[in-house]
A and B are shown apart, each in its own frame.
Chain A
């Protein structure tokens, strides 16, 4: 598997529907300053129920793009009170699950993170949360469509041993998922076995390998 070439180059675009393109443009272009870089005005075609639509793209840096679909005249049926434009949930779905899906956009520095914090706080969509995670610091808000958006900076570079650790975690996870009741406790026990099997002889790859093609 290690020989499988890793050819992809990041996000071309991620696409979401919007029911409020005016607010979406106000949030991404006017508040955050993400340029509009592409759009498609399309007549509904193919399936007879497909409405005319606009597909528009914002530059989120690095050549990557965040895109939206606006369908003329489409009003989705009423659904649960929680969630976003795309996915609605009833009150019995817990918040941790509803709020798990999000887009995180990278910035290079603390100053840049504070700059986006300032832009959001001066808008109708102020920062809801600023968090120091394990190795990143993030700000969060919800866009006008209810999608959670995170902007994040790295507190330090990821180290090669964290790649090893991630791979041992996933191997342990796949192993414990075969159990009837997988748990973190079972995973940590399995992972300890893997650490003893595989980590003792591990040495950090040479720096050029660590920064170019990271360990699998």
Chain B
């Protein structure tokens, strides 16, 4: 499994919540971080998160065995490596 880490602060919570709507994704907590585990690929829609751009483009804390292949105003796509 690959993972995306997002710091648990109020602005970032919708990112984790929207990511977890995907039934193939599992959401856990590592200390103050959300650990969003996925298999192969995850796509998060920015508008669904309601995040303004400054929050959106700084919401990722880490990637485990994964690479961000799209990160624009529409969506973020993260793929396993």
Contacts and interface: CB of A to CB of B under 8 A. Distances in A.
Contacts of B62: 188-189, 191-195
Contacts of B54: 131-134
Interface of chain B: mostly helix, strand, loop or mixed: mixed
Nearest to A187: B62
B61 interface: yes
Interface in A170-216: 185, 188-189, 191-196, 198-204
- Among A161, A185, A199, A203, chain B packs the most CB atoms within 10 A around the CB of A199
A174 B39 CA distance: 30
Interface size class of B (residues with CB under 8 A): 20 to 34
A159 interface: yes
B68 A195 contact: no
Interface of chain A: mostly helix, strand, loop or mixed: helix
Contact of B58 (A134, A193, A194): A134
Interface stretch (B14-22, B28-36, B41-49): B28-36
A62 interface: no
A192 B1 CA distance: 14
B32 A164 contact: yes
Contacts of B55: 134
Interface in A103-123: none
Interface of A: 131-135, 156, 159, 161-162, 164-165, 168, 185, 188-189, 191-196, 198-204
Given A135-B11, A188-B61, 13 more contacts: A134-B11, A134-B55, A161-B7, A161-B31, A188-B63, A189-B63, A192-B3, A193-B64, A195-B31, A195-B62, A198-B31, A201-B31, A202-B31
22 contacts: A132-B54, A133-B54, A134-B54, A135-B9, A156-B10, A159-B9, A161-B7, A161-B8, A164-B32, A165-B32, A165-B61, A188-B62, A188-B63, A191-B5, A191-B61, A191-B62, A194-B62, A195-B61, A195-B62, A199-B30, A200-B31, A202-B31
